[in-house]
Amino acid sequence: MKSQYVIRELVKNEPLILLKDKRFNTLHPIKCSACDNKDNFSRRLFIVEVEPKNVTEDERQPILMDYLLHRYQIQSAFFKNSKKKNYIDTSICEKCHSTAIIYDIKFDSAMIDEIFKNMELGDDKKAEFFKKFEEKMTHFE
Ligand SMILES: [Zn+2]
């Protein structure tokens, strides 16, 4: 890993605070790709404290993934930001200890209301629209 990067794992209550940010946690672990466990995940969150400027996302992510794999044996990760800080979101399956976890977006009712705020649809139309929308969402691996 190039020395221009400084990554630190969040500790103590830092992960809890970050995960309370609904926008941050919208994309979250839903399934272990090794054992199909859907319920028990441990999150490991990292903050990218220092990194070079003028690096494209296409260049940046492989460098960080390579670091995570070699330093922490983490196979999949999601790159997020919150309040102008860059984070890496990873999970471990508590059943089989795999780190190849599938993430997806789950909308709660407040977010659905936000989406439909300016749309004049009846409740049954909303449900129908939302179902189709959710089916089209891609799963991230
Ligand atoms: Zn598993």
The per-residue pLDDT string of the chain (141 residues; one tens digit each, 9 = 90 and over) reads: 446 899 999 999 999 999 998 889 889 999 999 999 999 999 999 999 999 988 998 999 999 999 999 999 999 999 999 999 999 999 999 999 999 999 998 777 777 777 777 676 677 777 777 777 776 654 443
41-50: strand order across its sheet: 6-9, 41-50, 85-93, 78-82
Residues 66, 31, single domain; the answer is yes
46 — phi, psi (to 5°)? -125, 150
Residues 97, 71, single domain; the answer is yes
Residues 63, 88, single domain; the answer is yes
Residue 141 CA to ligand 1 center (angstroms) comes to 14
Q: Which domain holds residue 134?
A: 107-141
Residues 89, 21, single domain; the answer is yes
Collect residues with CB below 5 Å from ion ligand 1.
Answer: 32, 34-35, 37, 93, 95-96, 98
What's the pTM value of the predicted model, to 2 decimals? Answer: 0.76
The domain total for the chain is 2
Residues 62, 84, single domain; the answer is yes
Residues 90, 54, single domain; the answer is yes
Q: Which amino acid, one-letter code, is at 55? A: V
d(CA 69, CA 80): 18
pLDDT of residue 132: 73
Helix residue ranges per DSSP H, the chain? 14-19, 22-25, 57-72, 109-116, 123-136
Q: How many helical (H) and strand (E) elements, i.e. helices and strands, does the chain have?
A: 5, 6
